[in-house]
Chains A and B, each alone.
Chain A
Amino acid sequence: MSFPLVDLNAEMASEPIRKGFGRGLKVAGEQNQNVVALCADLTESTQMHLFREAFPERFVEIGIAEQNLVTVASGLASQGKIPFCSSYAAFSPGRNWEQIRTTICLNEQPVKIIGSHAGLSVGPDGATHQMLEDLALMRVLPNMVVLAPCDSLEAERATLALAVDPRPGYMRLAREASPIITTIDSPFEIGVGYVLSEGHDVTIVATGTMTYHALRAAEELYKEGISAEVLHYPTIKPFDRDTLIYSVRKTGCVVSCEEAQINGGLGGIVAETISEETPVPLVRIGVRDQFGQSGTPDQLFEHYGITSKHIALAAHSAIEKKRVNL
C-alpha cells in the first residue's frame, strides 16, 4: 500500500501531536455518545478541554489521582461507555500499572489510556517527567493495543480508531511541536506497519516522533549512495511482524528508532521478531538503560544519540555488520 507523505524539502507545518488527539476525541464524542473522557488535572495540557467544552456531562475531572483515573474508567466501561483517560505518561501508565492490568486488561474493558508528554522531548521538566518506559510497560499486557503516532494528523486518526476498537488501548503523545509528515490521504489502521520509502540496503523501522528523523536519515544515506527502506510503526502492539520480516529479508539488516527505552520498547520487539524469524544484524536507536535530564529537546536527542545523524551512522554500522557476517 502506498503511503502519501508531505514533501520533506518544502516548508513543513508542525504541531504538538497531542493537539490531534484533542480534535480526534471531540469528533469521536460527536460520532458516539458512549464516548466519555476523564482527566487527572491536566485537561488543557492533554487537549481534553475540547471534549469537555463540547460534552461537559460526559467529562469527569478526577483530580491528581491516576489510580482512580483508570479504575473509574474501568467501571464506566463495564456499563458500555468508551472511556478515554488522559494524564502525563509518567503518571499514567507510570503509576497505575497494576490497576490497568487487573481492572482493564484482565477484565477486558475497552478503556483508552492516553499518555501525553512522553519521551525525552518534554525537555526542561527533566527525568521525572520524561516517560521512556511506557511502551515496555504496556506491550507486555495481554489484550492491550499500544499506539505511538508520528504527528498530530495521525494522532487524530489513531484516536478515532481507538474509539471504535473493542480492546483496551494505550496511546503515547508528545508535548513539543512535531513536523506533520502524513497527509489527509495517509492510511491508518491499528496493527499495520507502513513502508514509507522502499530500499534494499538497510531497513530503518521507527515509531512515534522518530519516524520523521528516520526519513531525514534515509535522505542523508541516499546522498551517500545507500538505499534505506523506511518503515513506520504507529502500532507497537499488535505488532505487524510480516511487514518487518518481508523488509528485513530483502535488506538483510535493520535499525530500530524510538524515543523510549530500547529495552522492551520497539528495539526489544524488533530484536524478538527478527531473531525468531530471520536473524540479521540489528542496531537499536533509543535510550539505553538510562534516565533523561533537563535540556532542550535538541540537546537531549544529541546527548542520548537519537538524531537523524545517529540513525544514519547506525545504518552504516548495521550494513557493516552484514558484511562481517558473510
Chain B
Amino acid sequence: MSYTINELELKAADIRASIIKSLEEAGSGHSAGPLGLADIFTALYFDVLKHDPKNPDWDQRDILILSNGHCVPVRYAAMAHAGYFDVDELMTLRRFGSRLQGHPERLKLPGMESTSGPLGCGLSQSCGIALSFRMNNENHRFVYCVMGDGELDEGNVWEAAMLAGKEKLHNIIAIIDRNNIQIDGPTETVMPLEDLQAKWEAFGWHVLSIDGNNIEAVIDACAMAKAIVEKPVMIIAHTIPGKGVDFMEYDFHWHGMPPNHEQAKIALHDIRTLKGKIRSEHQ
C-alpha cells in the first residue's frame, strides 16, 4: 500500500505523538533525536523499506540497522504504527519485563534487526550484511543504516567507511542524522565533523545531502541511492533536533531528557497543530 506525502506527514505526526507519550510514561530517555528522525522513519517504514510487519523474519526483506540505539523510541513508534505490535505497548518503554528495552535488543523484539547502543558499530554490521547479500547473489536487497552525527567521533565508523568503499558495497544506504548536537554541545564544538560530505567522498562513497525533515526528499534520496551501483551511498540528512515541538527544537539539553507531564501536554499540542499552523482537534 502506498501513501501520499500528505498521509505520510500525518503518520509522522502520529509517530511524534507516540514518542512524546512513551517518553513521558517512561520518565527517562532521549527526546530530541527521535523527534528529529520521525520523518526519516516514516519514510522508511511506510514507503522505502521492503518489509512485512506480520512476518518480520521474511527472508527477502530489506534490513534496517539503527546504529545510534538511543534514538530507538522513534523506531519503536514507527514499528507500532506500521503494525509490528500494538501501539499500546509503547507505554511499556524502558519498564522491567518490556520488549521495548531502553536501548534496542534484537532478541527481545521481532523486527529489531540488531542490538545497539554503544555507538559506532552499525555501519560495520551493515557492511557484514551487504557482504552476505553479495555472497548470496541477493543484489535486490538493501541494508539501510541510520546513524547519529555525534557517533561519527567513533573510529569504528571510519574503519567501516573504508571497507565499504574498498568493497564498493552499493547495497548499503546509510543515513546520517545531521542534527548538529551531541551530549556535551554542538558537534562542531565537541569534535568538528565538517567537511562531512568531502570526508565521505574521500572514503569512496556517493554522498547525497538532503532536508531530513522533508519526507519526500528522504524517499527521493533513497530511490536515487538504489540506482547508484558503483559505490555505497551516504545520505546526509539535515534534521532539526526536537523537530515538531517548539521548545525542544535546536536545544541540545533535550538530547537525553524526557518531557514531564506539563511539557508533554504542550508538546502534543504542538505536534497535533503542527505548531499552531492548523487547529487542534481538541480545540
Residues of A participating in the B interface, judged by any CB pair closer than 8 Å: 36, 57-58, 60, 62-63, 65, 67-68, 71-81, 83, 98-99, 102-103, 106-108
Question: With A57-B135, A78-B114, A107-B105 given, can you name 11 additional A-B contacts, CB distance below 8 Å?
Answer: A60-B131, A65-B162, A67-B155, A67-B156, A71-B156, A72-B127, A74-B121, A81-B128, A81-B132, A102-B116, A102-B121
Residues of A within 8 A of B42 (CB): none
Docked complex: B52-75 residues within 8 A CB-CB of A: 63, 65
Q: Which of A36, A75, A80, A107 contacts B124 (CB 8 A)?
A: A75
Cβ of B156 and Cβ of A106 under 8 Å apart?
no
Question: Which of A58, A76, A83, A99 meets B121, CB within 8 Å?
Answer: A99
**Cβ of B27 under 8 Å from chain A:** no
- Chain A contacts for B121, CB-based, 8 A: 71, 74, 99, 102-103
Instruction: Report the minimum CB–CB distance from A226 to chain B (whole Å).
Output: 50
- Whether B214 sits at the interface, judged by CB under 8 Å, is no
Q: B156–A79 contact, CB under 8 A? A: no
Q: B163 touching A72 by the CB < 8 A rule? A: yes
Q: For B125, give its contact among A65, A71, A106 (CB under 8 Å).
A: A71
Chain B, 98-137, CB within 8 A of any chain A CB? 105-107, 113-118, 120-121, 124-133, 135-136
Please, how many angstroms separate the alpha-carbon atoms of A103 and B106 in the complex?
10
- Tell me which residues across on chain A come within 8 A of B125, comparing CB atoms: 71-72, 74-75, 78, 103
- The docked-state distance in angstroms from the alpha carbon of A108 to that of B113 is 12
Tell me, yes or no, whether B19 is within 8 Å of chain A by CB: no
Shortest beta-carbon distance, B171 to chain A, in Å?
A: 12
Minimum distance in angstroms from B176 CB to a CB of chain A: 18
Are A68 and B159 interface neighbours, CB within 8 A? yes
Return the CB mask of B155-174 against A: 1 if under 8 Å, else 0. 11001101100010000000
| Residue in B closest to A105 when the chains form the complex, CB atoms | B115
A76 to B163 CA separation, bound complex (whole angstroms): 14
Asked if B118 contacts A98 (CB within 8 A), the reply is: yes
Contacting pair A72 B118 (CB below 8 A): no
Closest residue on chain B to residue A57 by CB atoms: B135
Given contacts A71-B125, A75-B128, A76-B129, contact A36 B135 (CB under 8 A): yes
Chain B interface, DSSP helix/strand/loop, else mixed: helix
Residue of A nearest to B134 (CB): A57
Within the complex, which residue of A58, A75, A80, A99 is in contact with B127, where a contact is CB–CB below 8 Å?
A75
Asked whether, in the complex, the Cβ of A81 is within 8 Å of the Cβ of B135, the reply is yes
* A68 near B129: Cβ-Cβ < 8 Å: no
Kindly list chain B residues whose C-beta atoms are within 8 Å of the C-beta of A98.
118
Q: Could you say which of B114, B121, B160 has the most chain A C-beta atoms within 10 Å of its C-beta? A: B121
- CB pair A63–B162 under 8 Å, yes or no, is yes
Chain B contact residues (Cβ within 8 angstroms of A): what range?
20 to 34
Instruction: Jot down 22 A-B pairs with beta carbons below 8 A, ordered by A.
Output: A36-B135, A58-B135, A67-B124, A67-B156, A68-B156, A71-B124, A71-B125, A71-B128, A72-B125, A73-B128, A74-B121, A74-B125, A75-B65, A75-B125, A75-B126, A77-B128, A78-B63, A79-B129, A81-B128, A102-B116, A103-B125, A106-B105
- Distance in angstroms from B208 CB to nearest chain A CB is 23
Q: Which residue of B lies closest to A103 (CB)?
A: B121
Q: Which of A58, A71, A107 contacts B106 (CB 8 A)?
A: A107
Within the complex, the shortest CB–CB distance from B148 to chain A, in Å, comes to 16
Given A98-B118, A102-B117, check contact A80 B135 (CB 8 Å): no
Asked if residues B117 and A68 are in contact (CB atoms below 8 Å), the reply is: no
CA distance A108 to B107 in the complex (A): 8
Task: List the B side residues contacting A106 at CB < 8 Å.
Answer: 105, 115
- Which residues on A sit within 8 Å (CB–CB) of B132? 75-76, 78-81
CB distance from B230 to the nearest CB of A (A): 19
A72: which B residues are within 8 A, CB to CB?
A: 124-125, 127-128, 131, 160, 163
| Cβ-closest chain A residue relative to B115 | A107
* Cα distance A43–B54 in the bound complex, in angstroms: 43
Which residues from A are CB-within-8-Å of B167?
60
- Judging by beta carbons under 8 Å apart, are A68 and B115 in contact? no
Distance in Å: Cβ of B68 to nearest Cβ of chain A: 13
